[in-house]
Amino acid sequence: MKTAIVVFPGSNREGDAARAIAEITGRDPVMVWHRDSELPKVDLAIVPGGFSYGDYLRCGAIAAHSPVLREVKARAAKGMAVLGICNGFQIITEAGLLPGVLMRNAGLKFVCRNVNLRVETSQSLFTQAYEAGQVLSVPVAHHEGNYYADAATLDRLEQSGRVAFRYCAPDGTLGEAANPNGSARHIAGIFNETKTVLGLMPHPENAIDSLLGSTDGRGLFKGIAEALS
C-alpha cells in the first residue's frame, strides 16, 4: 500500500500519521507539501490534524483551495481512498469531499482528552477490522469539532450507512454527557457515498501505542492496509 500525507503550514500531526502508517504497513508514506500541484501514484491520501494556515477564516477553508487538494479531489473522484483526521476532516469537508461543516464546540472550549467512540459499521475499508457496536477509546484535540448538517443531509447519512463513528459512553450508549463538542446526532466521523473517503475528528494515529493509553486506533490502519494492499 502506497500512502501520501499532505502537509500544510500549521499541520502538527503529520508525523504521528506517518508513524502509524509505517508501523502498521512497514512502509513509510510520502510527505507532500501543500503547494505541490501533483500527487504521487498512491492508494491512500491522508490529510492530517493541526492548524492549517493558522485556522484563519474558517478551519480548513484556505487549505481546501491549495493546489494539492485539487489533485486529491480529482483522485478521490476516481476512487482513491482519502482519510481526513481532525483538521483534515475540516479541510476535506470545506473542499466538498464530505457534506456538512465543523463548527465551534458547543462549550466554546478546546477539548483535549480521550473519548469513547462507537463503531457504527464494519462495512468499509476503514472500519472492517472492527465490529459494529464496538466501543473504542481515542483522543480528541479540537476547538471546532461540532459537526453540523441540515436534517435532510443527516437523514441521508443515516439511511445510507455513512455515519462511521459516534461519541458515546463506555457502554456504547449515546447522550449529551458523552458528546465532547455538541456534534449533531453525536457524529464523530462520516463517509462519502462510496465509503472511500472518511473524515473524523478523533485521532486514531495517537491510539496505536499502549504507552499512550490505547491501541484502539490500530484497527483503522490495519483495515486500510488489508483493503488496499
Strands 197-200, 81-85: pairing is: parallel
For residue 203, indicate whether it is catalytic: yes
Q: Residue 180: CB partners within 8 Å, gap ≥ 6?
A: 105, 111, 113, 115, 140, 145, 167
Q: Cell 500549521 sits at which residue?
A: 10
Which of 14, 71, 120, 205 is labelled catalytic? 205
For residue 65 the three cell numbers come to 483551495
Which of 14, 86, 120, 143 is labelled catalytic? 86
> With bands split at pLDDT 50, 70 and 90, how would you rate the model's confidence at 212?
confident
> With bands split at pLDDT 50, 70 and 90, how would you rate the model's confidence at 166?
very high
Question: Does 58 score more than 90 pLDDT?
Answer: no
For residue 34, indicate whether it is catalytic: no
> With bands split at pLDDT 50, 70 and 90, how would you rate the model's confidence at 229?
confident
For residue 30 the three cell numbers come to 510520502
For residue 86, indicate whether it is catalytic: yes
The confidence score (pLDDT) of residue 108 equals 93
Question: Does 37 score more than 90 pLDDT?
Answer: no
One-letter amino acid for residue 106 of the chain:
A
Average pLDDT over residues 95-117: 96
Q: N- to C-terminal Cα distance for the chain?
A: 5
> With bands split at pLDDT 50, 70 and 90, how would you rate the model's confidence at 56?
confident
Helices 218-228 and 14-25 sit at what angle, rounded to 10 degrees?
60
Map out the domains of the chain with their CATH numbers: 3-228 (3.40.50.880)
